[in-house]
Chains A and B, each alone.
Chain A
Amino acid sequence: MTDFFAALIEQSFLQTALLAGLLASIGTGLIGSFVVVKRIAFLAGGIAHSVLGGMGAALYLGLDPLAGALAAAVVAALIIGWVRLTWSAQEDTLIGAVWAIGMAIGILFITKTPGYSSDLMSYLFGNILLVPRQDLWFMASLDVLLLVVIGLFYRQLLAVSFDEEHARLRGINVPAYYLLLLILVAVTVVLLIQIVGLILVIALLTLPAAVAGHYVHSLGRMMVLAVLLGALLTSVGLASAYGPDLPVGPTIILLAALAYLVSALATHFLARRRARRAVTAVQREPKGSSPQPRDASGIGQGFGCHPAARASQAGAPGVDAARGGDESAGPHEGSGRTGRPV
């Protein structure tokens, strides 16, 4: 690790790699949180893999592969979003098809492009150590775009992620914001591809946010924590891979997976321990000293029980009349459920 810090001071490519990791973490935390809470990891995977088509076409045409990746990611996001919004019955099949078609197009183009093989590996698995310094500006501008769009439309994106039907009822254009969210996912995928490649990108997009989700109760806090976790994981991954000369992308992903596993087990264990302690505390209470039962609302005070209302039910107009069929009078004969058809 000491070697890494010494090299970091001297080697500009390591500094660029570290900065690239930190810039990628912003996208990871912001958009990864939406991907996790909206449960669209499969859609994001489809977008990520379709990117190869754009990269391959750009390489073949002699254009910047990142520009091709961005264009392909946005087109794939729109197609996948349209499939999800229009043909929801066959959603997974069609998204799987878009996923495979994008990769097939990319491989065909790359095959026909001279000197493809080394490039193909770096696109599939990423190489943070080869990120050109000028690409940092491209990554930073994508981060700014994400921050501005989320800042402007956070409420709408939250509403669409949380409860689409309610969002629609509040006059939100749900399809438009859903497509906007997928376009943001596409931008983030391009941001992350240089770090871990398109095969592993979905893990970096989801795992830090999923770990953050174990500890916070709001989407905003989840984003902040996921950005910090992403920054930690990419930096530690870079440092860990340096000494033994391991590929950085897979190292980062394995670290993220380990963090998720440890966090999931720890939260599960803590929840079970809390439950056991609660039961033990109840068992230790002397008999007859248990507190008054809380009302069914669970907070000790309801709307306020209305005995008068309950009493009035028995003689309320319409209630008796509604009781057709078998009847057996009893002490609670006026209770509301008595009229429920069985």
Chain B
Amino acid sequence: MASDVIQLTGVSFSYGAEPALREVDLAVADREFLGIVGPNAGGKSTLLRLILGLLEPQSGRVEVLGRSPRAARTDIGYVPQYPGFARDFPITVEQVVLLGRLGLGNRFGGYGREDRQAMQRVLEEVDAHDLRARQIGSLSGGQLQRVLLARALVCDPRILILDEPTASLDLRLEADIFERLKEFNERMTILLVSHDVAFISTYVSRVACVNQTLVCHPTAAIDGSTILALYGESVRRVAHEH
């Protein structure tokens, strides 16, 4: 039986008077691909930030790889929903990816040969090698998403966490990224937040529905009534003809 790499026990968190998460229990097994869905302000991103150690729960316990989230940070790759940097920052793609190697190897001075080899490898892995000399602000949304994925992967993480990584992408790129994530899942645990319930159901092994509380379902069990209970309204299918 696979061991749990993430364990949340009775976790509650509040930014103010209204709790964002209540008494959340969650166990994520090694090499599991967990989709996290839920309405806006339902606590999805808060859940990720607790697992990343960016927030401390007011009650309950979070363990990642048997350690505190802070201690486990260097084993986690993270792709944020919104890049936390100015697009006009003078930095190239390869420098951005190399920043993902911080916390490994030398503390002082520049990057070593191993860092540069890892950077080359992940850029090839996400088909972004051609972009390596480009300034980060000159990339399209899809290109930037690949670079952020490469930055998350360059530390060879045991856990990859993605917060709506395809929110600004078209369907084709979204499928491309999910296919690649499926491949990465063979060597790492993946947690992925998405609004796209139907789409992630194709790829993930389990879906966690978050709306202050958290309930996990096997993907096959996600049906209209589950969605109705989670979002408070029905999900509509839209057909397109071209």
Count of A-B contacts judged by CB separation below 8 Å: 244
Knowing A159-B99, A217-B91, A336-B175, say if A169 contacts B199 (CB, 8 Å): no
Knowing A39-B86, A159-B102, A172-B103, say if A297 contacts B140 (CB, 8 Å): yes
Residue interface bits A311-340, CB-to-B below 8 A is 1, else 0: 011001111011111111111110111111
In the complex, the chain A residue whose C-beta lies closest to that of B100 is A170
How far apart are A227's CB and chain B's nearest CB, in angstroms?
15
Residue from B90, B135, B142, B201 within 8 A of A322 (CB atoms): B201
A37 at the interface (CB under 8 A from B): yes
The answer on a CB contact under 8 Å between A340 and B235 is yes
The answer on a CB contact under 8 Å between A302 and B237 is no
Q: In whole angstroms, how far apart are the Cα atoms of A219 and B135 in the complex?
A: 11
Kindly identify, within residues 283 to 323 of chain A, every residue whose CB is under 8 Å from any CB belonging to chain B.
295-299, 301-306, 309-310, 312-313, 316-319, 321-323
A63 at the interface (CB under 8 A from B): no
Across-interface contacts of A155 in B (CB, < 8 A):
99, 102, 110-111
A342 at the interface (CB under 8 A from B): yes
The answer on a CB contact under 8 Å between A170 and B86 is no
Kindly identify, within residues 158 to 184 of chain A, every residue whose CB is under 8 Å from any CB belonging to chain B.
158-159, 161-172
Knowing A340-B195, A341-B227, say if A218 contacts B91 (CB, 8 Å): yes
Q: In whole angstroms, how far apart are the Cα atoms of A219 and B136 in the complex?
A: 12
Q: In whole angstroms, how far apart are the Cα atoms of A321 and B207 in the complex?
A: 13
B41 at the interface (CB under 8 A from A): no
B74 at the interface (CB under 8 A from A): yes
Kindly identify, within residues 68 to 119 of chain B, every residue whose CB is under 8 Å from any CB belonging to chain A.
73-74, 76, 78, 80, 83-86, 89-92, 95-96, 99-100, 102-103, 108-111
The answer on a CB contact under 8 Å between A341 and B173 is no
In the complex, the chain A residue whose C-beta lies closest to that of B127 is A303
The answer on a CB contact under 8 Å between B224 and A325 is yes
The answer on a CB contact under 8 Å between B102 and A168 is no
Task: In the complex, identify which listed stretch (A49-57, A146-154, A246-254) lies at the interface while the others stay far away.
Answer: A146-154
Q: In whole angstroms, how far apart are the Cα atoms of A137 and B236 in the complex?
A: 73
How far apart are B127's CB and chain A's nearest CB, in angstroms?
5
Residue from A309, A329, A338 within 8 A of B198 (CB atoms): A338
In the complex, the chain A residue whose C-beta lies closest to that of B69 is A169
Residue from B74, B90, B126, B171 within 8 A of A216 (CB atoms): B90
A156 at the interface (CB under 8 A from B): yes
A213 at the interface (CB under 8 A from B): yes
Residue from A222, A299, A318, A326 within 8 A of B90 (CB atoms): A222
B146 at the interface (CB under 8 A from A): yes
B233 at the interface (CB under 8 A from A): yes
Across-interface contacts of B172 in A (CB, < 8 A):
295-296, 302, 305
Q: In whole angstroms, how far apart are the Cα atoms of A325 and B227 in the complex?
A: 10
Across-interface contacts of A153 in B (CB, < 8 A):
108
Across-interface contacts of A332 in B (CB, < 8 A):
239-242
Residue interface bits B130-142, CB-to-A below 8 A is 1, else 0: 1100110001111
Nearest 10 pairs of A and B residues by beta carbon = A339-B198, A324-B224, A330-B239, A325-B234, A336-B199, A318-B201, A303-B176, A318-B219, A217-B135, A297-B142
Known: A166-B84, A169-B52. 4 other contacts (CB 8 A): A37-B89, A170-B73, A297-B142, A322-B235
| Contact sample, A vs B, 19 pairs, CB 8 Å cutoff | A152-B109, A163-B83, A166-B80, A170-B74, A213-B90, A296-B170, A302-B127, A305-B172, A305-B175, A321-B222, A322-B201, A322-B222, A322-B224, A325-B228, A325-B236, A328-B239, A335-B171, A336-B198, A340-B198
